[in-house]
């Protein structure tokens, strides 16, 4: 197994388990991550996901180069089919997942590891973590969505600097750029990710899903289209227990005061 799954009440932690390979993303690992996300999506009792890597050296060093090399040797169509589309499917799945995905970056997040971080709605990094876009040194642009998501996160000029140089940046700089939410000591990483998950899942799952959907779908739209996405997300929650219970609790507290 290249992906370990552990459950603690309402939260599932997925661990990329290829420590000797710096948790590189070969095709079976990507497929296993997709399968686990499908399983979690179908389980209404799971409320949040933490995604991390085995050990403390790497979250993921990116694509498994031998796998990539074999695909590239087969020509553009094979490389697109086996490598790029698989990577796009994974990062899009994480980006659009209806439950919060919190990436806990426990070391290197290079290439595909950085692109997973960009796609996730939330991320926390250990103090020793580093991020990089080294694809240019292999002769191609970021292939798992990094050329599109990173500039949207950090701005065009900062994004291009990272993409065109391939230079690594430390966790503190990643936090300044908005690539991660916070930086913590490595011994506190999973605990902090769990605390963040708990602060989210105390709210109604329908509300959490609606917020994720509204932000993800609307963030790159013109404001009027984004407001329409927001209105649709709100309307979908109106008939839910989450709204009824939330309003009732508010009115009860007000009456008690």
Query: Residue 128 in 3-state DSSP?
Result: coil
- Bridge pairing between strands 11-16 and 3-8: antiparallel
Using pLDDT thresholds of 50, 70 and 90, give the confidence band for residue 252: confident
Q: Hey, what are 33's tokens?
A: 């991550």
Q: Could you report the per-residue pLDDT of 143-188, keeping only the tens digit for each?
A: 999 999 999 999 999 999 999 999 999 999 999 999 999 999 999 9
Q: Using CA atoms, how far apart are residues 8 and 194, in angstroms rounded to an integer? A: 10
Question: Could you tell me if 97 and 47 are in contact, meaning their C-beta atoms sit under 8 angstroms apart?
Answer: no
Mean pLDDT of 89-104: 98
Tell whether the model's pLDDT for residue 109 goes beyond 90: yes
Mean pLDDT of the chain: 96
- Supply the pLDDT for residue 183: 98
What amino acid positions are annotated as catalytic residues?
A: 115, 135
Percent pLDDT > 90 in the chain is: 93
Q: Which of 240, 238, 216 is nearest to 229 (CA)?
A: 216
Query: Strand order of the sheet with strand 108-110?
Result: 58-60, 108-110, 130-132, 169-170
> φ and ψ at 35, to 5 degrees?
-65, -40
Grade residue 1 by pLDDT with cuts at 50, 70 and 90: confident
Give yes or no for a contact between 226 and 216, defined as CB atoms under 8 angstroms apart: no
pLDDT at 255: 79
* 3-state SS assignment for residue 204: coil
Per the DSSP assignment, residues forming a β-bridge with 6 are 13
**pLDDT tops 90 at residue 77:** yes
Residue 198: per-residue pLDDT: 97
Q: What average pLDDT does range 59-86 have in this prediction?
A: 94
Q: Write the CA distances from 150 to 142, 157, 203, 256, integer angstroms.
A: 10, 10, 29, 48
Residues 6+ apart with CB under 8 A from 208: 47, 99, 100, 200, 201
In sequence order, what DSSP letters do the residues of 1-68 get, joined into one string? --EEEEEETTEEEEEE--GGGTT-B-HHHHHHHHHHHHHHHH-TT--EEEEEESTTTEEE--B-HHHH
3-state SS assignment for residue 232: helix
């Amino acid at each position: 197994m290249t992906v370990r799954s552990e459950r603690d009440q309402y939260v599932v932690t997925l661990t990329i388990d290829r420590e000797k390979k710096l948790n590189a993303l070969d095709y079976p690992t990507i497929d296993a991550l997709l399968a686990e996300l499908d399983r979690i999506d179908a389980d209404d009792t799971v409320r949040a996901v933490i995604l991390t890597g085995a050990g403390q050296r790497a979250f993921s060093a990116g694509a498994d180069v031998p796998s990539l090399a074999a695909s590239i040797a087969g020509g553009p169509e094979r490389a697109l089919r086996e490598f790029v589309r698989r990577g796009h499917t994974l990062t899009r799945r994480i980006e659009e997942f209806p439950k919060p995905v919190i990436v806990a970056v426990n070391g290197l997040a290079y290439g595909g590891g950085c692109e997973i971080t960009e796609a996730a709605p939330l991320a926390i990094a250990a103090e020793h973590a580093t991020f990089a876009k080294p694809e240019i040194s292999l002769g191609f642009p970021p292939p798992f969505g990094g050329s599109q998501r990173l500039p949207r996160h950090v701005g065009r000029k900062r994004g291009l600097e990272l993409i065109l140089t391939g230079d690594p940046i430390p966790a503190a700089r990643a936090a300044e750029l908005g690539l991660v939410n916070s930086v913590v000591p490595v011994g506190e990483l999973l605990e902090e990710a769990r605390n963040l998950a708990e602060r989210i899942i105390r709210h109604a799952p329908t509300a959490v899903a609606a917020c994720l959907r509204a932000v993800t779908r609307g963030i790159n739209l013109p404001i009027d289209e984004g407001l329409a996405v927001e209105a649709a997300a709100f309307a979908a929650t109106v008939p839910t227990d989450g709204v009824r219970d939330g309003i009732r609790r508010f009115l009860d507290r007000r009456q008690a005061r």
